[in-house]
Amino acid sequence: MEHPTQPAGPLTGLRVLELGQLIAGPFATKTLGDLGAEIIKVEPPGQGDPLRQWRLLHAGTSVWWEVQSRNKQSVAIDLRRPEGREVVRRLAAEVDILVENFRPGTLEGWDMSYEALSESNPGLILLRISGFGQTGPYRDQPGFGVVGEAMGGLRYLSGHPGQVPVRVGVSIGDTLAALHGTIGILAALHERHQNGGRGQVVDVALYEAVFNCMESLLPEYSAFDVVREPAGSALPGITPSNAYPCLDGWVLVAGNGDSIFRRLMQAIERDDLAQDPRFSNNEGRSQHAAEIDAAIGTWTQTLTIAQVLQALQQANVPGGRIYTAADIAQDPHYRARDMILATTTAQGLPLEVPGIVPKLSRTPGSVRRRAPQLGEDTDTVLSALGYDAATLQNLRKIGVIA
C-alpha cells in the first residue's frame, strides 16, 4: 500500500479531511494528496463512495477509483448517526482543511457548521463545493456538474449549429470546480499564515467555475449584444483554428498567428493567400474563415494525418492528431514526462494511471499510496485520535464505523 521512497511533496504536513463523494470534492483532495497532503476520506459503511461502482469495474471496484482516491486513507463512518458525527467532529478538530460537496445546509443539519467546527479549530479551512453556492436563490437546488456546465454557458456552445448541444465527454464541470476549490484552499492557507492563523470558508459553485472559463462570452454580449453561438470544431473569431479531413481521419490545425498563417499557406502551396492583404491579420481572416478553411481542407484531404503533421512541423505550424486512449498510452512524450504511471490495485490488478500535474522542480508530487479499500484505515486513523480498542469495537458493533 505504501511507497515510502517517493518524495513527500510541497504540501507535506497538511492534513485534509474529505467528506465529499463522487467527483468535485474528491478531485480537489486528490490534487492536494498528489502534492503531498495527508488525506483522510470519510465514506459511509456498506457501499462507500458511489464512485467505487462507476463505469468499468475490476473485482467489483471501478478502475476510476484507483485514480480519484490514490494517496488517501479510507475511514468508514456513518454520518447519519450522532455517534458518527461526533467522530467526524473530533477529526475536524485535528486537520488543516475540510472538503465537502454536499447540498448547502447539510453540514448545518448535522450540527457541523463552520462556526461550530472552528470553535475547536480556529485555523480550519473549509472548502464547500455545490451546484449553485452557499448563498443566492438557487442555493438549495440540487446541481450536478452537467447542470453547472449548462448554466455556466459551456453546453450551449458545445456542438454544431442547429443541432442538439453535446456534452464534453468527461465531467468537466466538476473538475473545474475542484481546481477552483484547490486554488481557493491554497490562497486561504497563505492568508492564514500571513494573518494570525485563522481559517475561513472557500465557497465554490459548479456553474461559477464553468462560467469563469468562458472567456469573452459575457463582455461580447454586454458590449455588442452578441450571443455567441455553437460553431462545431471551429473557434469563431480566431482563424484558422479548426479540424480538417485527411485520408485516414482528422487533423487539428492552429494557424491563427499572422506569421504562422503565412507559413501555413506556403506549406499548402497557397502563397496567393499568404500574400493577400485581406488575410494579413486575424480580423480579416475571421471575416473570410470559410474560404481559408476550404483551402486548408482541400490540401489535407489528399494526405494522411502523418503527412500533414510532418508538413506542419517543417513549417513550424501548430497541429496535432486527435488522441484516443490508445494513442495516449503509446505516446513517448507522455511517458518521457511521467504522465503515465504504473500502480497495482488492492485486488492485484496492474494498472496505468495519469501522472502528477503540475510538476514542481524541487518538491514534486507523487503517488505514495494506492487507492484504499473501504474502511481500510478506520482503526489506524481513529486510534491516533485517541479511540481505544474497546470503543472502536463498540462503535463497529452498533454500525457507526466499519
For the chain, what are the domain ranges?
15-213+332-397, 241-324
Architecture field, domain 15-213+332-397: 3-Layer(aba) Sandwich (3.40)
Based on the residue annotation, tell me whether 174 is a catalytic residue of this protein: yes
CA distances from 188 to 39, 184, 202, 203, 320 (A): 18, 6, 8, 11, 39
Angle (deg, nearest 10), helices 305-314 and 258-267: 130
CATH among 3.10.105.10, 3.30.1540.10, 3.90.1300.10, 3.30.70.1450 for 241-324? 3.30.1540.10
Tens-of-pLDDT digits for all 402 residues of the chain? 445 456 679 999 999 999 999 999 999 999 999 999 999 999 999 999 999 999 999 999 999 999 999 999 999 999 999 999 999 999 999 999 999 999 999 999 999 999 999 999 999 999 999 999 999 999 999 999 999 999 999 999 999 999 999 999 999 999 999 999 999 999 999 999 999 999 999 999 999 999 999 999 999 999 999 999 999 999 999 999 999 999 999 999 999 999 999 999 999 999 999 999 999 999 999 999 999 999 999 999 999 999 999 999 999 999 999 999 999 999 999 999 999 999 999 999 999 999 999 999 999 999 999 999 999 999 999 999 999 999 999 999 999 999
Cell of 326: 490508445
Q: 41 has which bridge partners?
A: 18, 74
Question: What pLDDT, on a 0 to 100 scale, did the predictor assign at position 90?
Answer: 98
Question: What pLDDT, on a 0 to 100 scale, did the predictor assign at position 257?
Answer: 93
Q: Which residues of 252-284 are buried (b: 16+ CB within 10 A; e: fewer)?
A: bbbbbeeebbbbbbebbebeebbebeebeebee
Cα–Cα distance, 189 to 35 (Å, whole number): 15
SS3 state of residue 76 = strand
Which of 153, 130, 146, 125 is closest to 24 using CA atoms? 130
Question: What pLDDT, on a 0 to 100 scale, did the predictor assign at position 5?
Answer: 57
Out of 34, 96, 174, 377, the active site residue is 174
How is the beta sheet containing 249-254 ordered, strand by strand?
241-246, 249-254, 319-321
Question: What pLDDT, on a 0 to 100 scale, did the predictor assign at position 1?
Answer: 44
Question: What pLDDT, on a 0 to 100 scale, did the predictor assign at position 8?
Answer: 77
Q: What is the DSSP letter of 234?
A: -
